[in-house]
Structure 1
Amino acid sequence: MLTPFTTSNHVDIDGLKRITTLYLDAGSNGLFANCLSSEMFQLTDNERLLITKTVVDHCQGAVPVVATGTFSRDMTANSEFIKKIYDTGTQAVILITSMLVEPDESEDVLKARLETIMAQTGDIPLGVYECPMPYKRLLSPGIMRWMADTGRFVYHKDTSCHSGAIDRKAKAVEGTLFGFYNADTATALDSLDSGARGISPISGNFYPEPYSYLLKTYRQEGRTEALNQLHAFLTMMDRVTHVFYPFAAKLFLQRRGLKIETNTRIPAETMANVDLIRLNALMDSFKALAGMYEIPLVL
């Protein structure tokens, strides 16, 4: 999820409720609040809790909500904040893999720290996110199977961006409670073929409707030629959405008619004319795609 801010860069609670409604109306069947797209590293602890609780309360149980709970190298501090996030009403609390270990520390060290967190957080359902910040720490199929076997892990946001790696990891947790969700558009259909439970790409913060359509259609009809074509369009469009993010996503939604400001706490350079032309082309492509596949638009 994105976090809307006011012109004075405070959390825009009304805007947050409006964007939550947008996600729900567009067919999202789960929400990840307080994540990297939410500018979570630029928020205070109180803001992280406020944002998460606002989303949970606004959803009123319509879909599961998860949120990040690890912002320290201190596992006890992480455990205490995990409890606070869970108290907002989330279905699970997400651990950032690169916040738990340094780049040169082994997976055995990661496992030990996960065990510490599990011991300190009772039976709180947990998830993991291979967040690209502060660095990308990918998990092996082996540790994912171990995590699945603990019974505590229910959500994994994968950033492997490689069909073979995704297949091995998804197969490792097949038949368990540990749900596999792919963050990468290009490998979205491959991951669903491998057993992924869902997809969670940043382009869904520009236009969630075609992603909801893709997932629903895949579940109903499988990987048809028409769906392959839709996926090809989304893959090409995805290259534009990663530039000037998350500012560009807020500008795109504002141009779609959502009442939010474009302010971000992540510094954003001024978009050059050519970048604005590409964003306009993205809008035209999105609308053409929706018309081609008869995808209802929320805005």
Structure 2
Amino acid sequence: MKKLFGVTTAMVTPMNEDGTVNLEETEKLTNFLIEKGVDCLYPLGTTGEMFKLTLNERKQIAETVINTAKKRVNVFIHAGAMHTSDTLDLAMHAHKAGADGVGVVTPAFFTVSDLEIENYYATIAKQLPGDFPIYLYSIPQLSGNKLSIEVVTRLAEQFPNIVGIKYSYPDFITLKDYTKVRSGEFSVLTGADKLFLPALAMGCDGVVSGVSGVFPEPFVKLYQHYQHNQIEKTREIQHVADEIIHILRGGANMSYFKKALELRGIQAGSVKAPHMDIISNDISALETAINQWKAEYLKL
């Protein structure tokens, strides 16, 4: 089964002025990222403002990315939703639309037990085809629920179509423990952009990176040098990547991603309410910081 690896880009969701999804710019963004050399695409996750979109909007974006990618890279659609029935609807739609797999975040906001989390993922895995890959997605600082190593191990043992996990909390102990699941054959990716190189070094398959959706170049270059065992160079690139991660606030405010994409020729538009766009004073500071960073990056 196909898996995520290397530079897996968590895509923003381009919006029109009226708050609807912009499919034309989604096509443009998809092509831009593939042409820049990312390995996989991961639309409609946290970076894609998942819970703020309607089911129909999420399906439209999924179809657009899948059809535009045309199998040039692996496309895994994030299908997690607040209702199990909606998650299944989105996951089944992704399969039918031709996705290479799906990601599913843990239940969010409401506290759930390990048994309830396990049952949630088991329900999804049973109803999807056995050869259709599923990634667990743990982001406990936002969802409020953790995926324990015990639950992940049991799910991986029961369901071959649960092939890996995206872990978006900077906890190296847990990340390391995930790499032991299924005797090391379980796919593990960090969702923390600043931990790309350290995660690779401990045996993870890559990063699911939001910042690479704006500036994929340093992440692609880092992975290329890592594959050639050029460790000193990868350290240098990671340090420079850390700077653009800081400038774009690491995805804490998606309007920074969207404004930066506009500077690159992609009209990603506004963020979905209730969030607000970056204010004018911050736009000037952002442009200055990006230009200074570009000059430094070009020296690599």
Name the TM-score, length of structure 2 as normaliser: 0.86
Query: Which one-letter code corresponds to 2:294 in the other structure?
Result: K
Aligned equivalent of 2:70, options 60, 69, 88: 60
Distance 1:244 1:163, change over 3 A: closer
Deviation of 1:133 (Å): 7.8
Structure-1 residue corresponding to 2:6: none
Distance 1:66 1:113, change over 3 A: same
Deviation of 1:91 (Å): 1.2
Structure-2 residue corresponding to 1:10: 20
Distance 1:6 1:93, change over 3 A: same
Structure-2 residue corresponding to 1:191: 199
8 Å CA contact retained: 2:78, 2:103: yes
The CA distance in 2 between the partners of 1:47 and 1:183, in whole Å, is 24
Deviation of 1:21 (Å): 0.7
8 Å CA contact retained: 2:244, 2:290: no
Structure-1 residue corresponding to 2:155: 147
Distance 1:186 1:221, change over 3 A: same
Query: Which one-letter code corresponds to 1:26 in the other structure?
Result: K
Distance 1:254 1:160, change over 3 A: same
Structure-1 residue corresponding to 2:122: 115
Is the partner of 2:228 in helix, strand or coil?
helix
Deviation of 1:121 (Å): 2.5
8 Å CA contact retained: 1:49, 1:84: yes
Deviation of 1:192 (Å): 0.5
Structure-1 residue corresponding to 2:240: 233
Distance 1:44 1:26, change over 3 A: same
CA RMSD of aligned residues (A): 2.3
8 Å CA contact retained: 2:43, 2:76: yes
Q: Which runs of 5+ in 1 are unaligned?
A: 294-299
Distance 1:108 1:132, change over 3 A: closer
Is the partner of 1:196 in helix, strand or coil?
coil
Deviation of 1:2 (Å): 1.0
Query: Which one-letter code corresponds to 1:34 in the other structure?
Result: L
Structure-2 residue corresponding to 1:170: 179
1:97 counterpart = 2:99:
no
The one-character-per-residue Cα deviations of 1:59-92 (angstroms, maximum 9, x if unpaired) are 111111111223133x344323321222111111
Structure-1 residue corresponding to 2:93: 84
User: How many residue pairs get matched?
Assistant: 286
